[in-house]
Structure 1
Amino acid sequence: MGKLAESRYACRMCGRFVQSITWRELHELLAGLTGAPVELKPRYNLAPGQDATVIRAGAEGFQLDLLHWGLIPPWARDPAIAFKLINARVETAAEKPSFRNSWRARRCLIPANGYYEWTSVGGIRQPWLIRRRDEAPLFLAGLWENWRITEPASLHGRFAGRQVGEQVETFTILTTAANEDVEAINHRMPVLLHPHQFESWLTDAPAVPAAEQPGQLTTQTVDVRVNDPRNDDPDCLLPSLSLL
């Protein structure tokens, strides 16, 4: 693996992802998806603090909702905590004060067409796109939470235009130890679920999902324009030569 084996992880997992899946594709994969067809905005470089489509259990089946990425616990006074809680370790989520209530009762799925990781050598940050070898969508296990805006000082940035007293729904992505497909890039990876696991994850008593079997994921270096979240277009997915 050369320099890659010696590189330092340059970004905590999982810090960006691709969400270009369509409603029709989701409907084909989720037999219990309810609601009328909607046009989902394709995202090619989705970053913390932005809205993402998540799947939750509804009264009559699975439902799609837009939630803020970065979980804010109900007891938090400062919403900036969200940027520290974009990920949750699956090994400890059931005990951590920030996540334990969500673990018990508020679980979700995040559909993704891939996610990004970074390696770094000599100050150079190289982005990598990680996705399934067959290019089918990934389904990331997540937790969600309700947070009520209580301070006028919170009404800026991601919450500009909202009102004191309004409820905000946020989510985090669960991570686990990386398998051999991605361990050279990062020691963590998202918890990935498959269709036969969806209903039990969303509705049953929680259990730690089994690790993803190796051989399913592929990695590819992409252009450094991915480093800037303002770049959010299909060109983010184009392969490039590694800088390392």
Structure 2
Amino acid sequence: MCGRFTLRTPLHQLADEFLFHPSEDLSLPPRFNIAPSQLIAGLKWDSGRKFSQFQWGLIPRWAKEPSIGYKMINCRSETIREKPSFRDAYKKRRCALFSDGYYEWQKIDGVKQPIFFHREDNKPFAFAGLWERWQQDPEQPAIESTTIITTASNHITETIHHRMPVILSSDDLDDWLDPGYPDLDHLHSLLTDPIDDNQMMTFNSTAVSTYVNNVRNTGAECIEPVARQQDLF
């Protein structure tokens, strides 16, 4: 499960890294504790890579109430092609979601320790996601929502948690975003084979304060390192 992450990277740096044209009047403040139901930044496809912001928690087009999104912050890669909530979006509405670190909670002697995964160089990366456009009342603005796709952990992360978000490589980004890309089996292989150990070796896992547990805490204190529980004894 991926339920919290960071995006501290400035918009202009994201544009350079992911090759898109940002709106000149838009800026992204650094965020240290992004949580479900909040807006998250990423890319969808519109004759090329297009910057977008999505509400975190997928609301299927057929949903009667938007509250269903609270249950759909993640989508399992193994069942993405069968689940009614996700299979249509998997074919036509795929997205990439910007991050530069994410949190998982490791249970040690009954205590949950937040662990912050981030690249050694702190550069951003992109989660694989799906998006939907939901509008119940034509007089009200539509909601574009998203879910983060997860897969089985690799050897580097499995000691912390049995699931991890799917991290896209830059080489696969256009194929993943383009709704006209014909080889859905190839796209599925990107989801079920997690980022390999060699690539993941460029990531650090840092124990951080339980300050991050509260979604109302949004400052840089969320990523301040602390001693891991097993290091205290």
Match of 1:113 among 86, 100, 115: 100
User: 1:221 and 2:200 equivalent?
Assistant: no
* Structure 2: gaps (5+ residues): none
- Distance in 2 separating the partners of 1:30 and 1:16: 22
- Cα deviations across residues 19-39 of structure 1 (Å, max 9, x unaligned)? 1121211121123x1343331
Tell me, what secondary structure is at the counterpart of 1:91? helix
- Contact persistence 1:149–1:168 (CA under 8 A): no
Q: How does 1:12-31 map to 2 (within 5 A)?
A: 13-31=1-19
Tell me, what secondary structure is at the counterpart of 1:45? strand
Equivalent in the alignment of 1:99 = 86
Shift of 1:125: 2.3
Equivalent in the alignment of 2:168 = 193
Shift of 1:149: 3.1
What is the TM-score with the length of structure 1 in the denominator? 0.84
Q: How does 1:45-124 map to 2 (within 5 A)?
A: 45-59=33-47, 61-121=48-108, 123-124=110-111
Structure having the higher helix fraction is: 2
Structure 1: 4+ residue segments shifted above 4 A: none
- Distance in 2 separating the partners of 1:93 and 1:164: 32
- Contact persistence 2:60–2:132 (CA under 8 A): yes
Equivalent in the alignment of 1:157 = none
Count of aligned pairs between the two proteins:
218
- Distance in 1 separating the partners of 2:39 and 2:30: 12
What is the TM-score with the length of structure 2 in the denominator? 0.87
Deviates more, 1:20-29 or 1:109-118: 20-29
- Distance in 1 separating the partners of 2:166 and 2:58: 17
Deviates more, 1:199-208 or 1:189-198: 199-208
- Identity in percent: 36
Tell me, what secondary structure is at the counterpart of 1:211? coil
- Contact persistence 2:101–2:119 (CA under 8 A): yes
Equivalent in the alignment of 1:160 = none
- Distance in 2 separating the partners of 1:225 and 1:43: 14
- Distance in 2 separating the partners of 1:164 and 1:79: 16
Q: How does 1:141-180 map to 2 (within 5 A)?
A: 141-149=128-136, 165-180=140-155
- Cα deviations across residues 7-62 of structure 1 (Å, max 9, x unaligned)? xxxxxx1000001121211121123x134333112210000011111211123x21
- Contact persistence 1:89–1:175 (CA under 8 A): yes
RMSD between aligned residues? 1.7
Counterpart of 2:209, as a letter, is D
Alpha-carbon distance change, 164 to 127 in structure 1, aligned in 2, over 3 angstroms: farther
Equivalent in the alignment of 1:10 = none
* Structure 1: gaps (5+ residues): 1-12, 151-162
User: 1:241 and 2:227 equivalent?
Assistant: yes
Shift of 1:165: 4.4
